[in-house]
C-alpha cells in the first residue's frame, strides 16, 4: 500500500487523483495539502504542511509554483519522495530543486501522459533529421483557467527540438515587439487560452514548400493523473536524485 499525500487536493487535478486513488487497492491518500481546503474530503486537509502529522511514502503535487518552498522543506525534513507535476517554476526554484534532489528522490515532468513523452522523442528525432532547413514553431492551447503560459509541456517540446537541432536555439514568446525576419535559431512558442480545452500541443516544422505538424491532444485529465500515480509507485523507495517519464518508461 503506497501512502500518499496529495498537494493541491482541492484543485482540478487533485480531484481527479482523489477519485482514481479511491478506486485502487494499492494506494491510499493519508491527507491533502491545499490553501483552499474543502470540507467534504475523505481525508484531512492542511493549509500548512507543518501541521501534518500523518506518515506517508510519497507526496504528489498538482498545486501552484508558490507552494514549492514549503513542500521542499517538508519532504526534505521527512525524507519523502516527491512527484512534482506543477508547472511554471522560476530559475531560482529549479536551482532549489537541484539542491533538494541531492537528499530526496524527485520525479518531475510538465506532462505526465505517456503520449506526450513519445511525441518528445519524435520531435527530437525529426529536428535532428531536418536540421537547419525547417523552422520550428510550437502552438499550445489550454482552458481559460490555466495560470502559467506557455505551458510546461510546450517548453519541454521546445527543449526536445533544441536538443535535436545542430545550432543553439533561442525561444521567442512574442513577436509583437520584433519587427524583423525570423532567423533559423528561433523556436517560436505561442499560447492560446479558452473554454475547457484540456491541453493541445502542435510542433510545426515549416520548410520550403512543405510543412510537417506533429500534434498531441489530451481529451481528459485522467491521462496525467494515471502517469502521476505510476510515478508515485515507481518513486517510493528510490534513491535521492532527479527522475522523469523517460526514466520510468525505459525501466
Ligand atoms: N504535469 C502534468 O501532467 C500536469 C497536468 C495538468 C496540470 N498540471 C499543473 O498542475 C498544477 C495544478 O493544475 P490544476 O489544473 O489542478 O490547477 P487548479 O488551479 O485547479 O488547482 C490548484 C490547487 O492548488 C491549490 N493551491 C494554490 N496555491 C497553493 C499553495 N501555495 N499551497 C497549497 N495549495 C495551493 C489551489 O487552492 C487549488 O486547489 C498547475 O501548475 C498545472 O499546470 C500539470
Check whether 249 has a pLDDT greater than 90. no
pTM (predicted TM-score): 0.90
Average confidence (pLDDT) over 61-66: 97
For residue 39, name the pLDDT band (cuts at 50, 70, 90).
Answer: low
Angstrom distance (rounded) from CA 204 to CA 70: 39
- Whether 15 lines ligand 1, by a CB cut-off of 6 Å, is no
> DSSP strand E in 11-116: where?
27-33, 45-46, 58-61, 82-84, 105-108
Check whether 38 has a pLDDT greater than 80. no
Q: Which of 78, 146, 226, 242 is catalytic?
A: 146
Average pLDDT over all residues of the chain: 95
What angle do helix axes 114-130 and 152-164 make, rounded to 10 degrees?
A: 30
The grid coordinates of residue 140 equal 499550445
Distance 152 CA to ligand 1 centre (A): 13
Residue 212, strand partner residues: 205
Pocket test for ligand 1, best of 6, 48, 62, 117 (most atoms within 8 A of CB): 62
Task: For 18, list phi and psi in degrees, rounded to 5.
Answer: -55, -45
Grid-cell match 489530451, residue found: 218
Q: Is 142 a catalytic residue?
A: yes
Residue 204, strand partner residues: 137, 213
Could you read off the pLDDT of 149-195 as tens digits, one per residue?
A: 999 999 999 999 999 999 999 999 999 998 899 999 999 999 999 99
More confident residue, 99 or 250: 99
Could you read off the pLDDT of 123-140 as tens digits, one per residue?
A: 999 999 999 999 999 999
Angstrom distance (rounded) from CA 110 to CA 117: 10
Q: Which ligand 1 atom is the nearest neighbour of the CA of 88?
A: 41
Check if the beta carbon of residue 104 is closer than 8 Å to that of residue 98: no
Average confidence (pLDDT) over 29-41: 88
Amino acid at each position: 500500500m503506497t501512502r500518499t499525500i496529495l498537494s493541491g487536493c482541492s484543485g482540478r487535478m487533485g480531484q481527479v487523483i482523489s477519485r482514481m486513488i479511491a478506486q485502487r487497492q494499492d494506494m491510499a491518500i493519508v491527507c491533502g495539502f491545499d490553501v483552499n481546503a474543502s470540507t467534504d474530503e475523505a481525508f484531512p486537509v492542511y493549509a500548512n504542511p507543518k501541521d501534518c502529522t500523518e506518515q506517508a511514502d510519497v507526496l504528489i503535487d498538482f498545486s501552484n509554483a508558490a507552494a514549492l518552498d514549503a513542500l521542499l522543506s517538508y519532504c526534505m525534513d521527512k525524507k519523502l519522495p516527491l512527484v512534482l507535476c506543477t508547472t511554471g517554476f522560476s530559475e531560482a526554484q529549479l536551482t532549489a530543486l537541484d539542491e533538494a534532489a541531492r537528499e530526496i528522490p524527485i520525479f518531475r515532468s510538465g506532462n505526465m501522459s505517456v503520449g506526450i513523452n513519445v511525441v518528445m522523442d519524435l520531435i527530437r528525432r525529426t529536428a535532428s533529421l531536418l536540421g537547419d532547413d525547417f523552422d520550428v514553431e510550437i502552438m499550445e492551447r489550454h482552458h481559460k483557467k490555466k495560470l502559467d503560459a506557455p505551458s510546461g509541456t510546450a517548453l519541454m517540446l521546445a527543449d526536445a527540438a533544441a536538443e535535436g537541432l545542430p545550432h543553439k536555439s533561442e525561444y521567442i514568446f512574442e513577436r509583437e515587439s520584433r519587427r524583423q525576419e525570423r532567423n533559423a535559431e528561433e523556436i517560436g512558442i505561442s499560447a492560446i487560452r479558452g473554454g475547457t480545452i484540456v491541453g493541445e500541443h502542435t510542433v510545426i516544422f515549416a520548410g520550403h514548400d512543405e510543412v510537417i505538424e506533429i500534434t498531441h491532444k489530451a481529451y481528459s485529465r485522467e491521462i496525467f493523473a494515471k502517469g502521476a500515480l505510476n510515478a508515485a509507485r515507481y518513486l517510493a523507495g528510490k534513491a535521492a536524485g532527479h527522475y522523469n517519464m523517460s526514466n520510468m518508461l525505459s525501466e
